[in-house]
């Protein structure tokens, strides 16, 4: 199976950013709850909150049980496994019809990553010419996260924006083993 390296939450081309700035892929649904590119904005608000909104009274929830809400991270995270099971595996939610392949993949990736709340930051430090990534994932051609890796990356000349980084070392981490701990 052909594999490609992808930064799940980041574009491959990285621009010089102040420390703490976040880089997101605007054309994709990021597998995080918050943010313009996240699950809340791109899936839940459009497909789920018509029934799973905490402010809806029992008679206006379209059959959704009271308390099964997806408008806050805490409650969406609480029901994360069930959301994936119903919307991706069983495809019986939402009632209006199945999610798109991109939406299903975003929910699967959100689950694989442990249901993160917000985008993970990427920092570029000019003193060391290194890009520090908290987590990098290997994604297969179907968009499935297959492995988590630790990596070191160094700036590649020429040193003009957009900056290019090269992988210096790569250590694959067993995703299933780490999730079971």
> According to the model, what pLDDT value does residue 69 have?
96
> According to the model, what pLDDT value does residue 6 have?
38
Q: Alpha helix locations (H) across the chain?
A: 39, 73-78, 80-84, 101-112, 175-180
* pTM assigned to the model: 0.59
Per-residue model confidence as pLDDT tens digits over 69-79: 999 999 999 99
Pairing of strands 130-132, 123-125: antiparallel
CA distance 153 to 103: 30
Can you list the residues of the chain whose pLDDT is less than 50? 1-27, 121
Domain ranges of the chain: 3-24+120-180, 39-112
> According to the model, what pLDDT value does residue 94 have?
96
Per-residue model confidence as pLDDT tens digits over 94-130: 999 999 999 999 999 889 878 989 855 455 555 666 6
Dihedral of the alpha carbons of 133, 135, 141, 145, in degrees to the nearest 10 = -170
CA distance 100 to 164: 33
> According to the model, what pLDDT value does residue 25 have?
35
Name which of 146, 152, 164, 160 is nearest 6 in CA terms: 146
> According to the model, what pLDDT value does residue 65 have?
94
């Amino acid at each position: 199976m052909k594999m490609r390296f992808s930064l799940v939450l980041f574009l491959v081309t990285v621009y010089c950013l102040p420390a703490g700035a976040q880089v997101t892929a605007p054309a994709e649904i990021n597998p995080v709850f918050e943010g313009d590119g996240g699950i809340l904005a791109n899936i839940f608000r459009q497909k789920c909150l018509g029934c799973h909104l905490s402010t809806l009274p029992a008679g206006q929830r379209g059959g959704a049980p009271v308390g099964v809400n997806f408008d806050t991270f805490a409650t969406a995270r609480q029901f994360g496994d069930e959301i994936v099971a119903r919307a991706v595996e069983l495809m019986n939610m939402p009632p209006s019809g199945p999610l798109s392949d991109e939406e299903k993949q975003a929910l699967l990736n959100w689950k694989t990553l442990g249901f993160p709340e917000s985008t993970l930051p990427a920092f570029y430090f000019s003193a060391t010419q290194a890009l520090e990534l908290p987590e990098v994932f290997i994604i297969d051609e179907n968009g499935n996260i297959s492995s988590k890796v630790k990596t070191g990356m160094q700036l590649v000349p020429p040193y003009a924006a957009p900056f290019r980084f090269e992988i210096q070392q790569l250590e694959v981490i067993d995703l299933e083993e780490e999730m079971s701990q």
